[in-house]
Amino acid sequence: MIKTYFYNHDEHAMYHDVDLSSTHDLLTSPENLLWIDLYDCSESELNHIGEIFDFHPLALEDCFQESPRAKIDRYDDYHFFVFHALRYFEEAEEEDEITSIELDVFLGANYIVTIHPIALSAVGKVARVCLRDTEMMERGSEYLLYKIVDNIVDDTFPIIDRLDERIDDLEDNIFVKKGQEITEEILALKRTIILLRKVLIPQRHIFTNITSRYSSFVGEEMVPYYLDLGDNLNNILDTVNTYRELVNSSTDTYYSILSGRTSEIITVLTIISVIMMPLTVITGFFGMNVNLPGGGQPGGHWFSVYLIFGFMLLLSVGMLKYFKRRHWI
């Protein structure tokens, strides 16, 4: 699907769904701005846009192949960007709980082309504002790109807040819930944190280096805006790194609890084995064909049985008291 938004500076008016066959006429004035938004588009649609603006084949190829990292490529009269937006579905399957959606951007002097596989809320918010007001398009393509990326960053904060709640729940439940539930939650949190870092670190690198390595696409008046994006990403990553330490600490605590429980079980089983060992020897000995004490007298058989069981009982109680005195149980 292709959506277009065109700002005519002379008329101070916004238009949408314009005819792309007259693109060059629309962009005659450097103060006009054309935004083309493509999502769930076909290869032919993207190639058609590429022919209109003469985009490099390698950049178009990157749009069809998912890139794992954010990046900027500089061409003669435009820049090509790869960003990633995050979507969070806690009730989804474990491996799909958090996903990244690639956003490819071609940025020219008075045009911007955005490509994404599905509808993005960050892009939709900017589009709705552009339809209501001309101010955002008036400020040029660099400002429009800033607003889109700013919305992507803002959409990350609810994910961070929910992550904080889940870590708090993990710390509360680690002593009471069953082992499998805790293990699954720890693994889910670790996957989420890994993906957050994988997406956010390259994007932070771009915006924190906006005044040096990536200064070519940003005018001087826009530098503070993009540096602010870098600061926000730094704050988010600092929080994510803190959460990673908390999850690792909870993991260590959980395995210490498991180890303690295992030790308790082994201790109980060992005590039972130690108590049963002499009893087994006694019963085994008298289970052989041996003469029992008083066995030849009337009622002597039962006397022997009571005597043996009494001795075994005293032995067991004595061993238990000894273990308690040594604080083994």
Q: Check whether residue 203 and residue 235 sit in a common domain.
A: yes
Q: Check whether residue 175 and residue 277 sit in a common domain.
A: no
Residue 190 lies in a domain: yes
Question: So what's the pLDDT on residue 96?
Answer: 64
Residue 150 lies in a domain: no
Question: So what's the pLDDT on residue 26?
Answer: 84
Q: Check whether residue 235 and residue 170 sit in a common domain.
A: yes
Q: Check whether residue 6 and residue 133 sit in a common domain.
A: yes
Q: Are 65 and 37 in contact (CB under 8 A)?
A: no
CATH assignment of the domain containing 58:
3.30.460.20
Inter-helix orientation angle 156-173/179-208, to 10°: 150
Question: So what's the pLDDT on residue 302?
Answer: 62
Residue 225 lies in a domain: yes
One-letter-per-residue 3-state SS of the chain = CEEEEEEECCCCEEEECCCHHHHHHHCCCCCCEEEEEEECCCHHHHHHHHHHHCCCHHHHHHHHCCCCCCEEEECCCEEEEEEEEEEECCCCCHHHCEEEEEEEEEEECCEEEEEECCCCHHHHHHHHHHHHCCHHHHCCHHHHHHHHHHHHHHCHHHHHHHHHHHHHHHHHHCCCCCHHHHHHHHHHHHHHHHHHHHHHHHHHHHHHCCCCCCHHHCCHHHHHHHHHHHHHHHHHHHHHHHHHHHHHHHHHHHHHHHHHHHHHHHHHHHHHHHHHHHHHHHHHHHCCCCCCCCCCCCCHHHHHHHHHHHHHHHHHHHHHHHHHHCCCC
Q: Check whether residue 164 and residue 187 sit in a common domain.
A: yes
Q: What strand order describes the sheet that includes 2-8?
A: 13-16, 2-8, 33-39, 111-116, 98-108, 78-88, 71-74
Residue ending a domain, choose from 250, 272, 294 = 272
Question: So what's the pLDDT on residue 294?
Answer: 56
Adjacent-strand bridge partners of 114 = 37, 105
Question: So what's the pLDDT on residue 126?
Answer: 93
Look at residues 19, 45, 44 and name the one whose alpha carbon lies nearest to residue 34: 19
The mean of the pLDDT values for the chain is 84
pLDDT tens per residue, range 204-249? 988 888 777 666 667 788 888 989 999 999 999 999 999 999 999 9
Question: So what's the pLDDT on residue 220?
Answer: 81
Domain that residue 166 falls in? 155-272
pLDDT < 50: residue spans in the chain: none
Where do we find the tokens 């918010």? 125
Q: Check whether residue 124 and residue 29 sit in a common domain.
A: yes
* pTM of the complete model beyond 0.85: no
Return d(Cα 45, Cα 2) in angstroms, integer: 8
Q: Check whether residue 281 and residue 260 sit in a common domain.
A: no
CATH assignment of the domain containing 252:
1.20.58.340
Residue ending a domain, choose from 81, 115, 139 = 139
